[in-house]
Amino acid sequence: MKKNILLIIGPCAAESREQIAASIKEVKKRKLDFMRINLWKPRTRPGFEGLGKMGLPLIADAAKKGVNPAAEVILPKHAEMIIKTTLDASKTANVMLWIGARNQNHYIQQEIARVVKGEKRAFLMIKNQPWRSIDHWEGIIDHVVHAGISTDQLYVCHRGFTPQGENNPLNLRNIPDFEMAMQMRNKLKLPMIFDPSHIGGTVENVIKVSNEAAKYSFDGLIVEVHPNPLKAITDAKQQLTWDQFDKLSRPIAS
Ligand code: PEP
Ligand code: MN
């Protein structure tokens, strides 16, 4: 049976009111589950780190227009601000927060989970850490569950592991481990979302890894799509156009 997969789609980072307004229209047209409206960006080197608090009105705009926001939270106060903004703006909108690959401080992970806990319209997605270790990845889930969040509020996301000199003919940005992701999914009984954008690193590779991932039982996709990818401030090479997204392979297995 074909299942409904969860789709979290939108630009790498929120950049401007115009960019978010254009994205909201496309997300609404396709009735997607969540839209990426990312206000805080971990960066390898100092640079554009996101709109931060200044971007909260964009979250409110989306929620008012019936679009559910999704965003990375680096600190507990980010989770507080995004949840409050969404709930104040709309009586029905849901909000997806995620802990990114680089945010590997378990005190902070637990604090974020405490903020999300008990808020029925808020969900938390745990991305894998950058280095390959199923034990560490499971440990993050253990930490947030230990902090009291309900497993009904939890999602897991595979975004690949930093290349460590292994065979990488496509020159992927991060190396997927599909078997590990499926092992986690079966053991934890949590929905497993796939992130082809941060694995692929280029549009061509995003399409290729999505074709590969379609053979596995992922429960959803998080994909970077930008109204004008070449002008994107962050991750310009990997962001799809809406046409490219419409043609992207999607997991169909149950
Ligand atoms: C992101 O999804 O915006 C992101 C930074 O991804 P990751 O934490 O997987 O690097
Ligand atoms: Mn990105």
Please check whether residue 251 lies inside any domain of the structure: no
Q: How many C-beta atoms surround the C-beta of residue 208 within 10 A?
A: 17
Please check whether residue 12 lies inside any domain of the structure: yes
CATH of the domain at 215: 3.20.20.70
Please check whether residue 254 lies inside any domain of the structure: no
Q: What does residue 90 show for φ and ψ, rounded to 5 degrees?
A: -150, 145
Domain count of the chain? 1
Comparing CA positions, the residue from 245, 38, 23 lying closest to residue 127 is 38
Q: What is the pLDDT of residues 223-233, one digit of tens each?
A: 999 999 999 99
Q: How far is the CA of 224 from the centre of ligand 2 (A)?
A: 7
* pLDDT at position 3: 74
Q: What is the pLDDT of residues 176-224, one digit of tens each?
A: 999 999 999 999 999 999 999 999 999 999 999 999 999 999 999 999 9
pLDDT-based confidence at 246, cuts 50/70/90?
very high
pLDDT-based confidence at 253, cuts 50/70/90?
low
pLDDT-based confidence at 254, cuts 50/70/90?
low
Please give the single-letter amino acid code of residue 230.
L
Residue 68 region by backbone torsions, left for phi larger than 0, else alpha for psi between -120 and 50, else beta: beta
Please check whether residue 110 lies inside any domain of the structure: yes
Measured over all CA atoms, what is the biggest interatomic distance in the chain, rounded to whole angstroms? 49
Please check whether residue 252 lies inside any domain of the structure: no
* pLDDT at position 252: 77
- Report the alpha-carbon distance of residue 215 to residue 13 in Å, rounded: 29
Please check whether residue 241 lies inside any domain of the structure: yes
Q: Residue 56's domain spans which residues?
A: 6-246
Please check whether residue 147 lies inside any domain of the structure: yes
Q: Mutate which of 37, 72, 98 to test ligand 1's pocket (most atoms within 8 Å of Cβ)?
A: 72
Please check whether residue 95 lies inside any domain of the structure: yes
Q: What is the pLDDT of residues 62-105, one digit of tens each?
A: 999 999 999 999 999 999 999 999 999 999 999 999 999 999 99
The terminus-to-terminus CA distance of the chain in angstroms comes to 7
pTM of model > 0.95: yes
Element containing residue 82 per DSSP (H, E): helix 76-89
Q: What is the pLDDT of residues 147-164, one digit of tens each?
A: 999 999 999 999 999 999
Is residue 64 within 8 A of residue 71, CB to CB? The reply is: no
Q: What does residue 223 show for φ and ψ, rounded to 5 degrees?
A: -135, 140
Q: Is the CB of 234 under 6 A from ligand 1?
A: no
Q: What is the pLDDT of residues 122-148, one digit of tens each?
A: 999 999 999 999 999 999 999 999 999
Ligand lying closest to the C-alpha of residue 195: 1
Q: What is the mean pLDDT of residues 25-53?
A: 96
Q: What is the mean pLDDT of residues 13-40?
A: 98
pLDDT at 2 over 90: no
Element containing residue 196 per DSSP (H, E): helix 196-200
Q: CB neighbours of 16 closer than 8 A, spacing ≥ 6?
A: none
Tokens of 134: 């199923």
Q: Mutate which of 15, 97, 159, 194 to test ligand 1's pocket (most atoms within 8 Å of Cβ)?
A: 159
